[in-house]
Structure 1
Amino acid sequence: MVGSECLANPPILNASTGVGYLTNIAGVNSYVSGSPLAILTIVLISDIFGFEPPLLRKIADKVANHGYFVVVPDFFHGEPYNAENASRPLNSWLKDHNSTKGIETAKPIIEALKRKGASAVGVAGFCWGARTATKLGITKLVEASVILHPSSVTVDEIRGVEVPIAILAAEHDSFSPPKLIKKFKQVLDAKPEIDSYVKIFANVSHGWTVRYDPNDPKAVKDARKAHKIMINWFDRHLKK
């Protein structure tokens, strides 16, 4: 079961925000930012609120400013979770939008990006998106991954990851509490051939990197720290 943390601070959806533009990639509506001539691509996988929230697109623009072509696909095909629709409980919605379907959506997108010239693809998953990002690292469809305040990711899935992975977790998070994150670290430490980084951020809660209050200086600072680590991780493993 999924608790209230996943629903905290629901964003205002606005498909017109961001400096990028909307396009279709492998049949999936996507927000893209950065030069299409960039040979390094980052795919951002959203939380349950989909690809329209302004803060998510702001993150995409920030990553693009570091020389990447950034793609934020609509993994929910026009049906993000609507916190105001009480007639559709979250657990019911999740049955129709699980990580298996996430992989089915992601695979042709990544293949299309590589056909168009992407020499390497990194993936970052937020909350719901973390499990799909983790599974992409198991299949080696991407060259590096970052998962931020993950939801539903298991120890066995982390054990199966075959690409460099960074895990950015929250101190206050019932989905992936510090005890579980420490197990993730133990598993990764036992695989020194796979570069990994695990950090538990103090005094933050689930969703803090993508659903923060832009008018709260501390919240902005905490989110920016995570974004910087994410970008540095991609720089380290994709800009070779």
Structure 2
Amino acid sequence: MSSCEKCKSGFNWNGTPNGSESKIAGSKAYVTGDNKDAAVMIIHDIFGWTFPNLRLLADHFAKEANVTVYLPDFFDGEVIPPETLTNPAKREKFSVPDFIGRHGKDTRFPEILEVAKALKAKYKKTAAIGYCWGAWACFRLGADPSLVDAISMAHPSLVEQTEIDNVKVPVQILAPEHDQMFTPELKEYANKVIPTIGVPYEYVYFPGLTHGFAAKGDQNDPKQKDGLERAKNSAVSYFKEFLHSS
């Protein structure tokens, strides 16, 4: 992610989250919704669990897909101020490689795994959706059907081919046309390999859009607004299909 300017830039959305803060498996979490049978874990991007845009998405998922949504903190309390998105000086000071070095896969996946186990013990069906940084963790969870029933991800980062190879649950990928993190080679690999694994697979393509659109797109730009809303609606439909079917 060393050259990913899109990872730390974007737009803050209008709206006020209406959930509450709690804990799950020792991790702080934003929680919204009241379904007792179905839950979704959002695995955040580098802006973390307090990022208002992701909390707003959590509220939409809870209401529109009828699920309880958890947005846990997987950065051990480290928070990037949301204004970094729109402040060039703050973006310049923020080092994505250094940040990822503090929050690598080996460091953070054990926490993600514990939350997934806790949710699976509490709910009949669970899913995970990851944005940017969080996508690789969804693939890793998806290697074990006892952890999640389905996984989704938008503009994935840090995904390795072996993580794609090992998936064993339904997969949804929300993929913009231009994405330096989920490269054309990785897109091609996913679209070649996942259909051979024998799991339901949905690849949703967003022409003209770029990395980060689903979590940080410009609501005042018609094309981006349409894309981020279509991404949200696609995830809602996906959760309905795999968390509420008998």
How big is the shift at 1:156?
1.8
Higher mean Cα deviation, 225-234 or 127-136? 225-234
Take 2:107 and 2:236, find their aligned partners in 1: how far apart are those partners?
26
Take 2:107 and 2:239, find their aligned partners in 1: how far apart are those partners?
25
Q: What does the per-residue CA deviation read over 1:182-226, in whole Å, with 9 as the maximum and x for residues that have no partner?
A: 2111001212x2111112210000000000122333322110111
Q: Among 223, 228, 238, which residue is 1:223 paired with?
A: 228
Amino acid at match of 1:175: M
How big is the shift at 1:67?
1.0
Amino acid at match of 2:108: G
- Give the number of aligned pairs: 235
How big is the shift at 1:80?
3.0
Aligned residue number for residue 136 of structure 2: 131
Take 1:167 and 1:128, find their aligned partners in 2: how far apart are those partners?
14
How big is the shift at 1:62?
0.5
Aligned residue number for residue 70 of structure 1: 69
Q: What's the C-alpha RMSD, in Å, of the aligned pairs?
A: 2.1
* Structure 2: gaps of 5 or more residues: 85-89
Q: What does the per-residue CA deviation read over 1:167-186, in whole Å, with 9 as the maximum and x for residues that have no partner?
A: 11111111112332121110
CA contact (8 A) 2:9 2:91 kept: no
Matching of residues 7-156 of structure 1 within 5 Å = 7-9=8-10, 11=12, 17-35=16-34, 37-65=35-63, 66-81=65-80, 83=84, 84=90, 89-115=95-121, 117-140=122-145, 141-156=147-162
Aligned residue number for residue 87 of structure 2: none
Aligned residue number for residue 2 of structure 2: 2
Aligned residue number for residue 166 of structure 2: 160
- If asked which structure has higher relative contact order (CA below 8 Å, sep 6+), I would say 2
Percent identity over the alignment is 30
How big is the shift at 1:85?
7.4
Take 1:100 and 1:134, find their aligned partners in 2: how far apart are those partners?
14
Higher mean Cα deviation, 86-95 or 134-143? 86-95
1:170 matched to 2:171: no
Amino acid at match of 2:71: V
- Bigger proportion of residues as helix: 2
Amino acid at match of 2:41: V
Secondary structure of residue in 2 paired with 1:210: helix
Q: What does the per-residue CA deviation read over 1:120-161, in whole Å, with 9 as the maximum and x for residues that have no partner?
A: 110000000001111111133111000110001122211110
How big is the shift at 1:11?
4.6
CA contact (8 A) 2:33 2:68 kept: yes
1:199 matched to 2:204: yes
Distance 1:10 1:102, change over 3 A: farther
Take 1:86 and 1:225, find their aligned partners in 2: how far apart are those partners?
31
- Report the TM-score when normalising by structure 1: 0.90
Secondary structure of residue in 1 paired with 2:209: strand
